[in-house]
Amino acid sequence: MTKKTIKIKLLGFWDGFNPDSHILINVLKKKYDVQFVDTNPEYIICSVFGKPYDYCKYPQIRIMFSGENYIPDFNLVDYAISSYPVNYSDRSFRLPQCFGTVKNSAWGLKDKNRDYNVDILKEKVYFANFIFSHESENNMRGDFFKKLSEYKRVESSGSFMNNMPEGKCVSRADGSKLDFQRKSKFTICFESTKHEGFITEKIVEAFYSDTIPIYYGSSDVSGIFNEEAFINCTGYDSFDEVIDRIIELDKHDEKYLEMLRKPIFTNPEYPGLLMNDFEAFVYNIFDQPVEKAYRRSLVYCAKQYNDYLIGVNKEENDNKTAVVNGGIFNAIKKSVMFWKR
């Protein structure tokens, strides 16, 4: 049977983006003949990197895919796939950021063997690791690192608060980050911001590395990941209580191993159910005739808003001051001025 051909233009993805590693593109290729084009696309799939609001100048059907802490604007896009549980007819789907890629994402954890024996403790040459490139909102990462370090040394092998010999850093790109984490009993997994629904790869990498995650971020994380398998800081009244729990596990091998062996997902069927729902959402968009797939308003206030953002981009281009790498976040202040006119 001949596959339906769909013509797509990608906008606003990060430098080095590989479509073949992206979960949305993989799902599309299962059913359609996907063609990436620069001219005459039928669909725009956009994200929040690159030139802000560049997709506004394209009249085609727009699908926002963002794993960042950004809630899509349905005045500007027809459909959105994001980390947030926004319920809006057939226009919105929640796909946590940690499920956004094919390789080393949460999808692969469903088959992970958790039957550890006591010998795994011999591999744990470090107490805990702390691997970040920057501070988080409200200094939560740095504050926790300092407080936990009062109990035992915490290995900081990222560029932020690095304490390694000669400042050596590990990297996700070459696999050295996971290798380093695997040598630790605990991995500090603090999100950059506590934004409900925003769950990134940090807790996933800790599970892949056979460590116990110490997580701080979205309070609904336990709806996905089994709270008996990690330490959820939002479930404690203070960092002191969190550290007391860590010390208890650190000093009692059986308690530590008991947590390490717990199932990763709250519902073991969650990844499969999520994939089924995601495919249904995506195929509903692309199975329709193109002319029936539009959802955003094309008139009145929504059109004025869209046209205003096109004008902002044109003005920046004319002045040669366009933001190329800052993405959508650097344009928000300018865009909201529209409503003050």
Boundaries of every domain in the chain: 4-97+273-340, 113-260
4-97+273-340: CATH number: 3.40.50.11650
Exposure class string for 169-193: b at 16+ Cβ within 10 A, else e: bbeeeeeebbebbbebbbbbbbbbe
Say which residues have a Cβ less than 8 Å from residue 310's Cβ, sequence separation at least 6. Answer: 53, 56, 57
Cα end-to-end distance, the chain, whole Å: 55
CA distance 79 to 62: 7
3-state secondary structure (DSSP) of residue 84: coil
- The predicted pLDDT at position 320 comes to 59
Query: Could you report the per-residue pLDDT of 290-323, keeping only the tens digit for each?
Result: 999 999 999 999 999 999 999 998 887 777 554 4
Q: Do domains 4-97+273-340 and 113-260 have the same CATH topology?
A: yes
- The predicted pLDDT at position 323 comes to 47
- The predicted pLDDT at position 50 comes to 87
Query: Could you report the per-residue pLDDT of 72-113, keeping only the tens digit for each?
Result: 999 999 999 999 999 999 999 999 999 999 988 999 999 999
**295, two tokens:** 């959802």
pTM of the predicted protein model: 0.91
Residue 9's beta-bridge partner residues?
44
Helix, strand and coil in the chain, % to nearest 5: 45, 15, 40
Q: Is 47 left (phi over 0), alpha (psi -120 to 50) or beta?
A: beta
Say which residues have a Cβ less than 8 Å from residue 275's Cβ, sequence separation at least 6. Answer: 107
Which one, of 9, 126, 114, lies nearest residue 63 by Cα?
A: 9
3-state secondary structure (DSSP) of residue 143: helix
Max intra-chain CA distance, the chain:
67
Residue 319, number of CB atoms within 10 A of its CB: 8
113-260: CATH number: 3.40.50.11660
3-state secondary structure (DSSP) of residue 151: coil
Q: What is the pLDDT along the chain (341 residues), one digit of tens a residue?
A: 799 999 999 999 998 899 999 999 999 999 999 999 999 999 999 999 988 999 999 999 999 999 999 999 999 999 999 999 999 999 999 999 999 999 889 999 999 999 999 999 999 999 999 999 999 999 999 999 999 999 999 999 999 999 999 999 999 989 999 999 999 999 999 999 999 999 999 999 999 999 999 999 999 999 999 999 999 999 999 999 999 999 999 999 999 999 999 999 999 999 999 999 999 999 999 999 999 999 999 999 999 999 999 999 888 777 755 444 455 555 554 544 444 44
Residue 307, number of CB atoms within 10 A of its CB: 13
Query: Are 130 and 234 a contacting pair, CB within 8 Å?
Result: no
11 CB-contact burial (10 Å; exposed 0-12 / middle 13-18 / buried 19+): buried
Residue at 229: amino acid letter: A
CA distance 306 to 207: 42
